[in-house]
Structure formats: C-alpha cells, structure tokens
C-alpha cells in the first residue's frame, strides 16, 4: 500500500460522478487514492457544460447515486429533468458530504502515464509538478463526452468577435442581448441552447448540417408529493431500472408487445402517450424500435408530423425534419426548440447546401457571401468515448501508446480494460461499454463496484497485476459489432462510430445488448475468476 507523498494505491483521473464514487469506494476498502482534476472544482461534464439550457435527459430521481440511503433521502430535486446548475450542486453536495475534496488535486492535468513492468506500477506526470506519482492502479474516470471538438474551419483565428463552445462554457454569465449570434451545430447541446440564446439575441442564425431527431422533454417542477413517493419507493425502483435496457425509466410501464401487435390506431395513441412521457423515453415506446425498420419508420414519421404541427413556415419545417434511422444518432430532448424557428429573430442556414468556407474578421463566409456576427457558438460535439484518454500520453507494455493503438481500432475488453495496459481500468467511458445508451450514473456505479470487487479479489489472492488478454479483447470487439449489426443503429455516420472526428478509426463503439445483459456478462466474468483477464 502507498506510504509516501507521491505513492498511492490508486491514481484516479477526473472528479466527476465516476471519480468521486471511485474515491469513496477506495476509502471504504482502506486504500490510499489521489484524484487529479483539470478543473478547479468537482463536477466533470457538469462542471464544463454550463451553456444555456444544459440539462439532463434522464429523470432526476434516477440520475443519482444509490450507494447511500441517507444521500437518497436528503437530496431534493427541483425538476423532472435537472438543469446543469442543480446537477452541479448535487455533485458538490456529494463531495462535501463524504469529505472527498481532501484527496482531490484541482487545476491539475494528467500529461502522461507509463506502466513499469518490473514494479507493476503506473508512473503519472502532471502539468504542475516535476515529480511523478506512482500507483499500482490507474483509474480512468475521465468521462465519455469530455473532449470538445472545434472543427478546423479556415480563418478560425481571424474572427474578432466572441467565440464559445458549449462543452467549455465560461463560468461567468454570457449576455447575448442586442447581439447578432451564429450557432454552428444542431445536436443535443445546440438543441438545448438555441431557444434560450434566441430569447436574448438581436438575431440568431442556426447553421445546420443534419437535423437531429428530438422529442419534447416535458420538463416541469417536481412536487413534494412526487419526490416523497419516489424516495419511499427507491428500494423498488432501483432494481427495476437495472432490468431495463437503458438502466432507467423505472417509473413508467415496460412495453413488451412489438408494434405489429398494435392496430394502426393503437400505435398512434401509444406514441402520443410516450411522447408525453418525455425525452429519450420515446425510444422505449416499442421494444422493436431499433431492430425493426418498419417500427422505426412509424416512430420517426410521428416525430416529423409533430415538427410540421409546431413550425409555421412549411419550408423551414421541412428542413428541420430528420431522415434516416431514429436513434442511430443520439435522440435529443428539447424544450420549445421547434417553436423558436417561428420567431422573426431566428434564421436557419443549410450548411449542406452552402458549406462554411471560412471564418472572417466579421463573421462567416459561404458561397452566398459573408454574414456578420458579434458572437459565434460552436455546438459541434465531442471526441466521444476515446478522446479524453487519447489526449494523455498513456504507455503500457513495451511502451505501447494507447492513442496509437486506438488509431487503428478503439478496442477494449468489456469496456473496462485494454490489452497491453495492465492495471488501467476505465469507468463508464470506454469503447465496448453500454454507457452512452444507459443512465450514466447507474453505469458508473456498476463499473466502480466491479473494479472495487476486482481489486479486493486481487488483494485476497495475492495478485498484483490484471490485464485483458488479446484474445478476449478481440472476441469482445467482435461481439460488440455483431450485436450492433443486429440493430439499425450502425446505419448513420454518428459519433457512436467516431464519424465526427476526421481520421478516427470507424467502428461502432457502444455495446447495444442492454444494461441487464451487460451486468450479467460482467458478473459471470468475475465469478469465473475474471475470465478473459490474466492475473499475476
């Protein structure tokens, strides 16, 4: 066990939900851990994503820790779908309640991590310390959507106005009053931000390349009675959620009948009911939503019809209507998004019809000419699932670089470990994990509990090193792709495949068999003495 200032049992990268719970579990096991966080406080994704309208798309009651009954009972969520400030307050409360900050080093970026094969130790260097930190276990709690992407537009440094990225928003309030604003991107963050920016801006131009599917969030304040009822039922709701495909929606009935067993009239009524439930849960309307082209088409048509009802200009409504497979790109959750385009101070610009050629001193140039702006907002997404770790110089056996390995294929075993990188364990972010299709907090708790049990098992059995075998990793990657290809999901060029990052290896990254199946697989692997891993 670590016994000097720079020697620990675990080094943890990141102080969001993952890092905080991993630190909590490490302490419970009597281990000495150190967390390195590049921000100046806890929060992870919710620390950085402060853009207008930033909000969770899982219901607050479920988007929360269950490891502490006292924590569950004492916290009061104000809305069905929590806004970023409330989620950040919750994370800060967790850090304070369990006195976690004393083991977190803020304003510290991990620059490199190298595995020493003789000592079975990781050596970690940071941006603000000339010495190394050492630990047998390196835990990546660096997040799935934590590496913002800004497209390499020509002239990006020439624009003299203000530039913002939704994934790295200023901490101080941003006032767009009386300003001409452009926002580039209509994915989840853009769809959340656009209505609120439009309320302030003199004029907002939305640069859209591909319209996204979005379902109404149906957000509203939670009543005390609703909260009290949920808290009284937590023992019932948590296990139900873990048996649902995405680890959430425990408060709503499970739909077991596929669409063909409904009449056309029943289908429309059923879809209306689920649209009123809100947000991501629309994808749960029918169990065959992502495997049946016919079911998927009916569900997509229903959303397109909803857009037609809400946008008064038929030409703009048509441009806002997505095509292709519903869910193959992330389904977004929106509030008054489509109505925003009915306002005189909002314009929609089709980037496919006229691509952005360059940013100028005054704005954005396309073949239609130059448009002048006071501010440009990039809502251009993230290098998902691999970006955060690829930005660190991580070297395993024989000096192998993780970034170089993932350039060829973003491979893992169970989404937990990479062959050739012993004692490096990933929490709810790695390729091959179901995280992006689940309630992230539940995935985090599952991964942290599995990692904690694994470390205890190793200690109990005198093992110092765990490494995914090359064969197990290859088999898991093959299985992940096999499962994905049984669905409609790989049909879109999405960030699920890394298609939004130039030069990134193309493979379907998330595991699609569902949260219950994944939990069972991980449990079976552990029960078989960590089958597929080499312990020594």
Determine the pLDDT at residue 152.
87
Contact 410, 385 (CB under 8 A): yes
Position 500 pLDDT exceeds 80? no
Does the structure show a pLDDT above 90 at 459? yes
Rg (CA), the chain: 23
The DSSP letter of residue 17 is H
pLDDT in tens, 467-480: 999 999 999 999 99
Q: Are 166 and 50 in contact (CB under 8 A)?
A: no
Residue 481, SS3? helix
**pLDDT of 222 higher than 90:** yes
Q: Is the pLDDT of residue 484 over 80?
A: yes
pLDDT digits (tens, 9 = 90+) for 192-205: 999 999 999 999 99
Q: From the centroid of its chain, how far is CA 491?
A: 20
Determine the average pLDDT of the residues in 508-531. 96
Q: Domain spans of the chain?
A: 10-42+100-147+383-531
**Over the stretch 278-288, which tens digit does the pLDDT of each residue have?**
989 999 999 99
For the chain, percent of residues with pLDDT exceeding 70: 99
Residues 34-66: pLDDT tens digits?
999 999 999 999 999 999 999 999 999 999 999
pLDDT digits (tens, 9 = 90+) for 121-153: 999 999 987 789 999 999 999 987 777 788 889
The DSSP H or E segment spanning 347 is: strand 346-350
Tell me, what's the pLDDT at 195?
Answer: 98
Q: What is the mean predicted confidence (pLDDT) over 213-224?
A: 97
Q: Is the pLDDT of residue 2 over 60?
A: no
pTM above threshold 0.85 = yes
Task: Decide if pLDDT at 3 tops 60.
Answer: no
Q: Is the pLDDT at 1 greater than 60, yes or no?
A: no
How confident is the model at residue 493, as a pLDDT?
A: 84
pLDDT in tens, 95-131: 999 999 999 999 999 999 999 999 999 999 999 877 8
Q: Are strands 363-366 and 369-372 parallel, antiparallel or unpaired?
A: antiparallel
Which segment of 277-281, 363-367, 369-373, 529-533 scores lowest on mean pLDDT?
277-281
Residue pair 481/409 in contact (Cβ under 8 Å)? The answer is no
Smallest CA-to-CA distance from 85 within 152, 173, 199 is with: 173
Average pLDDT over residues 149-162: 92
- pLDDT recorded at residue 262: 97
| Site of tokens 């590496």 | 147
Which of 42, 28, 33 has its CA nearest to residue 90? 42
Q: Which CATH code for domain 10-42+100-147+383-531?
A: 3.50.50.60
Over residues 219-225, the mean pLDDT reads 97
Q: CA-CA distance, 470 to 152, in Å (whole number)?
A: 36
* Dist CA 22 CA 142 (whole Å): 12
**Mean pLDDT, all residues of the chain:** 95
Q: Is the model's pLDDT at 79 over the cut of 60?
A: yes
- So what's the pLDDT on residue 421? 98
- Dmax (CA) of the chain: 69
Residue 495's pLDDT band (cuts 50, 70, 90): confident
Please report the pLDDT score of residue 4 as a whole number: 64
């Amino acid at each position: 066990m670590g016994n000097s200032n720079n020697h620990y049992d675990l080094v943890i990268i990141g102080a969001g939900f993952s890092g905080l719970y991993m630190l909590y579990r490490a302490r419970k096991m009597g281990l000495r851990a150190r967390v390195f966080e590049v921000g100046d406080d806890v929060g992870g994704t919710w620390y950085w994503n402060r853009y207008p309208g930033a909000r969770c798309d899982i219901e607050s009651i479920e988007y929360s820790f269950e490891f502490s009954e006292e924590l569950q009972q004492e916290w009061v969520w104000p809305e069905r779908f929590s806004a970023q400030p409330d989620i950040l307050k919750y994370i800060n409360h967790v850090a304070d309640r369990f006195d976690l900050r004393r083991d977190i080093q803020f304003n510290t970026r991990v620059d490199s991590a190298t595995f020493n094969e003789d000592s079975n130790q990781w050596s970690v260097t940071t941006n603000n310390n000339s010495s190394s930190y050492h630990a047998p276990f390196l835990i990546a709690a660096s997040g799935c959507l934590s590496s913002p992407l800004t497209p390499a537009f020509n002239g990006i440094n020439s624009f003299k106005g203000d530039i913002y990225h939704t994934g790295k928003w200023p901490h101080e309030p941003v006032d767009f009053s009386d300003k001409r604003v452009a926002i580039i991107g209509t994915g989840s963050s853009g769809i959340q931000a656009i209505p609120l920016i439009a309320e302030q801006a003199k004029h907002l131009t939305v640069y859209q390349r591909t319209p996204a599917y979005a379902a109404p969030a149906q957000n509203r304040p939670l009543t005390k009675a609703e909260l009290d009822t949920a808290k009284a039922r937590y023992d019932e709701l948590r296990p139900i959620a873990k048996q649902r495909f995405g680890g959430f929606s425990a408060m709503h009935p499970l739909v077991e009948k596929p669409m063909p067993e409904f009449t056309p009239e029943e289908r429309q009524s059923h879809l209306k009911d689920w649209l009123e439930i809100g947000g991501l849960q629309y994808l749960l309307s029918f169990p065959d939503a992502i495997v049946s082209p016919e079911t998927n088409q009916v569900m997509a048509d229903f959303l397109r019809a909803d857009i037609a009802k809400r946008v008064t200009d038929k030409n703009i409504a048509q441009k806002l209507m997505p095509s292709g497979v519903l869910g193959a790109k992330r389904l977004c959750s929106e509030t008054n998004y489509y109505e925003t385009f009915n306002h005189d101070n909002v314009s929609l610009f089709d980037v496919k019809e006229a691509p952005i050629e360059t940013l100028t001193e005054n704005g954005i140039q396309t073949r239609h000419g130059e448009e002048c702006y006071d501010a440009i907002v990039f809502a251009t997404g993230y290098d998902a699932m691999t970006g955060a770790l690829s930005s660190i110089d991580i070297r395993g056996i024989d000096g192998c670089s993780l970034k170089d390995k993932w350039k060829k294929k973003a491979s893992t075993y169970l989404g937990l470990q990479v062959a050739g990188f012993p004692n490096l364990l990933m929490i709810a972010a790695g390729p091959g994990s179901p995280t992006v299709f689940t309630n992230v907090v539940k995935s985090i708790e599952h991964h942290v509990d599995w990692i904690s049990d694994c470390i205890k098992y190793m200690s109990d059995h005198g093992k110092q090193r765990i490494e995914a075998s090359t064969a197990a990793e290859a088999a898991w990657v093959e299985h992940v792709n096999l499962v994905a290809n049984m669905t409609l999901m790989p049909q879109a060029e999405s960030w699920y495949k890394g298609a939004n990052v130039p030069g990134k290896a193309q493979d379907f990254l998330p595991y699609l068999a569902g949260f219950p199946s994944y939990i069972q697989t991980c449990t079976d692997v552990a029960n078989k003495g960590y089958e597929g891993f080499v312990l020594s």
